[in-house]
Amino acid sequence: MLRKKVYLDPPKILVLGFGLIIVIGAFLLTLPASTANGQGLPVLNALFTATSATCVTGLVVVDTGTTFTMFGQITILCMIQVGGLGFMTFATFFAFLVGKRISLKERILLQESLNNLSMEGIVRLTRRILIFTAVIELVGAVLLSIRFSFDMPIGKAIYYGIFHSISNFNNAGFDLMGEFHSLTSYVDDPTVTLTVSALIILGGIGFIVMNELFEYRVSKRLSLHTKIVLMTSTVLVVVGTVGIFLLEYSNSLTLKPLSFLGKILGSLFQSVTARTAGANTLNIADLTQSSLLLIVLLMFVGASPGSTGGGIKTTTFTTLIGAVWSQIRGKEDVIFYRQRIEYETIYKALTVTFSGLFLVMLMTLILTISEHGQDFLAIVFEVTSAFATVGLSMGLTPELSPVGKALIIFTMFAGRVGPLTIAYAVTIRRKPDAFRYPKGKITIG
């Protein structure tokens, strides 16, 4: 009797691939060698940490710097690197090492994994991604190691420099500073603040954009995608920086005690890190409610397609803004830089935004029940941070109940893989409609 062949399309493979990495990572973190107390993490905490690392989120139920041994920390770092670049990118890297030819199916998976519009040149792009990553993380590690060497032994400084460079380029936000302090002791330090901000921004703009900027010296042209990503990213960073600066200027718990330069650096870093990084130089719980709401909005938008970050993505946000503006002006088409956005793209942007908003609202509703007594804003902040794979928290993460941890685990996974990808993965193989129904009219507004 012949067995029916199981068809695994790219969404299913991506979901299963990320799931497998999380399971392996969680198992390693339960080993006695992973924790300083020699007992390993409890299963649920290990699963939470592995999901947070693989989905490059940064939410933690235990302190990374004091809980884990070097073996545990390196395990987390490996999950961050694989999760940030995508397991297909790493599979391709090993194929390069052994001289294996990349098959058509693997190229399709790479295209899906990198969210690239075309399969043309996908292997060359993957090779460049690996080179970009190695160079950027190396430069970041050197700069941070030099700065940390003034505060700690040189060996420890180098290790910290490497860890924090990889963690922040991949927009993960894990840190080794201890006691959940993140980078708060460097709030007014230009070297650490600007280096880490640069790592976060480079990791968040997306490898497609990075590759186009690299080729610009020859091509002298940028695609519409790259123009929108650069424009939107710049506007969001500036708006976030100015907003946090004004809202926190007189807050004695955050910016008020700092010098003018320190205020600017603190505002800039919190604006940048809200774009899915997770490290922080100001205590998030001390921010005003206005700043927290602003950060929630920035987190929900997130980084850009094909990057190490999450959120609904900058291009999705800008497409919807363009659609609304076109409707207000009575225009039929959405135009950016003298180019028309296709209706299919607008529908997809609307679907991504609605599915993300629905997930955040649903998880928030359930958490208000499971985490009864917790501050509502803290729950909204936590859920949005998990969905957008940011990692910022008002301090709720370590206090989550087992049910709360399980919900945040699912939210982090859905945010990294994408709600639509999960939906495609669990549905039957999609087929085009055989016919179309007649048009109907309804009133809107």
- pLDDT tens string 69-84: 999 999 999 999 888 8
The pairing of beta strand 334-336 with beta strand 339-341: antiparallel
Mean pLDDT score, 401-423:
84
In the predicted model, what is the mean pLDDT of the chain?
86
| Res. 119 pLDDT band, cuts 50 70 90 | low
Decide if 277 contacts 298 (C-beta within 8 A). Answer: no
Residue 24 pLDDT greater than 60, yes or no: yes
% of the chain residues with pLDDT over 70: 84
Residue 186 pLDDT greater than 70, yes or no: yes
CA angle centred on 85, ends 230 and 424, rounded to 5°: 90
User: Coil, strand or helix: which one is 397?
Assistant: helix
- pLDDT tens string 257-289: 999 999 999 999 999 999 888 899 999 999 999
Residue 406 pLDDT greater than 50, yes or no: yes
What is the rounded CA–CA span in Å between residue 399 and residue 411?
17
| Res. 9 pLDDT band, cuts 50 70 90 | low
What is the rounded CA–CA span in Å between residue 265 and residue 318?
27
Mean pLDDT score, 21-44:
94
> Which of 57, 61, 59 is closest to 42 using CA atoms?
61
What's the length of the chain? 445
Amino acid (one-letter) located at 13: I
> How deeply is 95 buried, as exposed, middle or buried, from its count of CB atoms within 10 A (0-12, 13-18, 19+)?
middle
Residue 2 pLDDT greater than 50, yes or no: no
Decide if 196 contacts 163 (C-beta within 8 A). Answer: no
What is the rounded CA–CA span in Å between residue 125 and residue 122?
5
Of residues 119 and 74, more confidently modeled? 74
| Res. 120 pLDDT band, cuts 50 70 90 | low
| Res. 295 pLDDT band, cuts 50 70 90 | very high
Decide if 161 contacts 142 (C-beta within 8 A). Answer: yes
Specify the pLDDT at position 1: 43
Residue 230 pLDDT greater than 80, yes or no: yes
Mean pLDDT score, 192-212:
91
